[in-house]
Amino acid sequence: MARLVLASNRVPAAADRGVKSGGLVSALGEVISGGLWFGWSGQVAKGAPTKAQLRRARGTVYATIDLTQEQYDRYYVGFANSTLWPLLHFRLGLMEFDRAQYEAYLSVNRAFAAALAPLIKPGDIVWVHDYHLIPLGGFLRELGITNKLAFFLHVPFVPPSMYSVLPKGSELLAALCAYDLVGVQTITDLRNLLDCVRELLGRPVDDMGRVQTNGHQARFGAFPIGIDSVGFARMAEESAAGADGKRLGESLGRRALVMGVDRLDYSKGLPNRFEGFARMLGRWPEWRSKVTYVQIAARSRDDVPQYRTIRRELDQMAGRINGRFGAIDWVPLRYLNRPVPRGTLAGYYRFARVGLVTPLRDGMNLVAKEYVAAQDPENPGILVLSRFAGAMHELGEALLVNPYDPDEIAEALDTALRLPLDERRERWRRMWDRIREDDAASWCRNFLTVLAA
């Protein structure tokens, strides 16, 4: 089998290498063994080295490169996270554009291509991940790389009416066409992206999602990412029975647990979720002292101003909700800004009567799948899920909500808490069958099979 070369903005930290950790690492952990993983080291250095640093761990070579402060500010904080991230999450009001940041984005991608090209061997398959690295494939081609090149976008894609506001947006679309295969999460994202290719690049797309440019053919497809469902289920069962689970269980007493787990990001819809919980306690006072909501929101992208703003907003909301509804022996909302080890999280999910996942927009949302995987088949909890998470396509038996409407969230919470056991089992079984079948390994296999075809 051909060697796999992965490129992503961040390469898993040394502590995570080889062990199953979050999202991408867990999805790709199996296929990357024996391969090479290239990306930013996570370090900011005085002068950026032009050669990647190589380290080997458990049969995989990790090749990393530092960024300078200016590259970090303009490429990562700037164009990637202040232009592309808000745009692709339908948040035009938060999108900023600065030509110098775009130039830096291109030049970092060019530098990455120059550092990666010498590491690519004939026959390798190169698989680039996410919005930070859209132009990488085109720059590799310019350096004479003729290997199979693929790209996967983890975030949503917007329709042409929205995408067209992005200055230089057509250049990025054209850059996508340099790959042999471009994958997105859902058929909605695929339709949006192909509409952009048609309307903004003026290129025809055939019914297999293929686009021809100067003799090169790029294929576009939807490949919904999965999790290691069986592994996660096992971890949840063990962890719920262990010390962490016991501690949570004792602290809850007989109260039902509503659980949310996210990166602290404005796309995750946390203020509306807090408000939805508060309205539920306001409209159905019988739930007071009977339900505890635990929200774990690990700090993320602290250098982007909007992330600091939302953190302040949530701190204040949590204080207000607890001040208004709390009792001497009951804290309604427990709000933690820390990452929590995966095993511990899995156990917490299993305790939760309700998994509350209400992003305003999300490419997929793996937390929704993890919550389902973690449930006890005999007494499963119920997922409350945003209609605008990619996971909605596979998890239609969840209670689906419009995350922009806190009252709808409140109503769904009340319904979820009252749902009888046989209905919870029925809904859970269907979702579980689907995510067990469409897991991380099959996602990788499908993608690589289409690429090879």
Q: How many residues does the chain have?
A: 453
Binds ligand ADQ by CB under 6 A, chosen from 2, 3, 18, 22: 22
**Cβ distance to ligand ADQ smaller for residue 345 or 409:** 345
Q: Which residue has the tokens 């830096």?
A: 104
How many residues at the interface with ligand ADQ, by CB under 6 A? 20
Where does residue 168 fall: left (phi above 0), alpha (psi -120 to 50 degrees), or beta otherwise? left
Pairwise CA distance, residues 287 & 324, whole Å? 14
Backbone angles phi, psi at 354, to 5 degrees: -130, 130
Helix (H/G/I), strand (E/B), else coil: 39: strand
- Residue span binding ligand ADQ (CB under 6 A) among the ranges 51-59, 229-237, 261-269, 444-452: 261-269
Asked if 186 touches ligand ADQ (CB under 6 A), the answer is no
Backbone angles phi, psi at 358, to 5 degrees: -130, 55
Backbone angles phi, psi at 209, to 5 degrees: 75, 30
**Cβ distance to ligand ADQ smaller for residue 292 or 365:** 365
Asked if 129 touches ligand ADQ (CB under 6 A), the answer is no
Active site residue 132: no
Q: Which residue has the tokens 């939302």?
A: 310
Amino acid at 220: F
**Cβ distance to ligand ADQ smaller for residue 108 or 155:** 155
Per the residue annotation, which of 180, 228, 362, 438 is the catalytic one? 362
Binds ligand ADQ by CB under 6 A, chosen from 114, 298, 419, 450: 298
Active site residue 303: no
Q: Please, what is the Cα angle at 113 between 109 and 115, to 5 degrees?
A: 115
Pairwise CA distance, residues 340 & 59, whole Å? 27
Q: Which two tokens stand for residue 234?
A: 């096992």
**Cβ distance to ligand ADQ smaller for residue 103 or 313:** 313
Helix (H/G/I), strand (E/B), else coil: 222: strand
Per the residue annotation, which of 89, 129, 132, 154 is the catalytic one? 154
CB 230 within 8 A of CB 435: no
Interaction residues for ligand ADQ, span 206-225 (CB under 6 A): 225
Asked if 169 touches ligand ADQ (CB under 6 A), the answer is no
Interaction residues for ligand ADQ, span 52-71 (CB under 6 A): none
Asked if 340 touches ligand ADQ (CB under 6 A), the answer is yes
Binds ligand ADQ by CB under 6 A, chosen from 66, 189, 370, 408: 370
CB of 84 to ligand ADQ, least distance (A): 12
Amino acid at 249: G
Rule CB under 6 A: which residues touch ligand ADQ? 22-23, 154-155, 225, 261-263, 296, 298, 339-340, 345, 362-367, 370
Positions annotated as catalytic residues are 154, 362
